[in-house]
Amino acid sequence: MRGVGERWLEAAYSGSPWLALLRPLERLYCAAVARRRLAYAAGRREVWRAPVPVIVVGNLTLGGTGKSPLVAWLVRHLSAKGWRPGILSRGYGGKNGVHPLLIDDRTPAAQCGDEPRMLADQTGVPVVVDPNRPRGARRLLVTGCDILVSDDGLQHLSLARDLELVVVDGVRGFGNGHCLPAGPLREPLSRLEGVDAVVINGEPRFAPPSGAFTMRLAPTAWRGLGDGGRLPLAPLPFSAPVHAVAGIGRPARFFETLEELGVAALPHPFGDHHVYRSEDLAFDDGRPLVMTAKDAVKCRGVAPADSWVLEVEAAPETGFSDWLDGRLARLVESGPESNSRSGSVPARHQE
């Protein structure tokens, strides 16, 4: 059964009229957000500036938008350009009590969180988990990183940033356009005026902000959960129909991708960051099981033998990589400190 939180989130994106009853609370929430941002802008709260460039990837809405695939693409792109990137994450869902946590091959998802574990596996770059972003950033610097990518760090204003990227789901967009608890927004839409770029995941079904870029999530391979072997998308390495599980922000996106690939599937949606148990995956009919890479890091040891992971990669439009390279080149010329900001003062940098 879906939880209350999932039903509320669906209502917030669909614009259910009953949410209008929460508008007074929304005004209080927005006032608190504005006071917090002003405190950082006025210097009443400390902002730490790293001696290297910092790129923040975040969103304005609750629920998944595709941030982590874009983070993985960014660090691959940066590595190809000669940078030594590192990833900074809060580690949502992890049970680690000691921070900062530098992830290694033995760090389980239960300790560091599913998305950091997935990013470490996919990219091979240093990944540090710490709810205190400046402290985590300092730990990454010790590993030799010369550029930092903060996953889901838009609202973590204690760490100054040189570039802010906001990822938006092309189907859900900004929902009803209202902030919590009357809508899905963490900050008012006016916050977009102060970010460097908006990246829309998928074909937008809403009026996109001017100058927004697009990206898509492109399936690349099937990976056996047990042996880690990678096989091409076709022919299928298993027999359909299959059971498909997805514990991500919008499970329907995964099921739609399977349909596009021609894979007949029985969908089993779970809540975002769901912690799987063997009984969740025991369907007892012998059909193969397929899942996302984010689910896979939590299903090792509990999934049946015939389990497969669909690997996907972010594929931004060409204009985005050109824009990013240009911005980084100018950043290097002028020095990161002259460009760095807390993210609390609107300053449009879209080109």
Q: Is 227 exposed, middle or buried (0-12, 13-18, 19+ CB in 10 A)?
A: exposed
pLDDT, tens only, 97-142: 789 999 999 999 999 999 999 999 999 999 999 999 999 999 999 9
Helix (H) or strand (E) holding 269: strand 265-269
Please tell me the pTM assigned to this model: 0.91
pLDDT, tens only, 293-340: 999 999 988 999 999 999 999 999 999 999 999 999 999 888 755 556
CB–CB of 215/204 below 8 Å? no
Name the one residue in this structure whose structure tokens are 């963490």.
186
CATH of 40-215+315-339, one of 1.10.3720.10, 3.40.50.300, 3.10.180.10, 3.40.190.80: 3.40.50.300
Domain boundaries, the chain: 40-215+315-339, 216-314
Q: Tell me: pLDDT of 281 over 60.
A: yes
Instruction: Please report which residue ranges of 66-215 form alpha helices under DSSP H.
Output: 67-80, 109-112, 114-123, 133-142
Token readout for 99 is: 């921070």
In the prediction, which pLDDT does 289 show?
Answer: 98
Q: d(Cα 109, Cα 120) in Å, to the nearest integer?
A: 11
Query: 3-class DSSP state for residue 52?
Result: coil
Core vs surface per residue 171-210: b (16+ CB within 10 A) or e: bbbbbbebbbbbbbbbbbeebbebbbbbbbbbebeeeebe
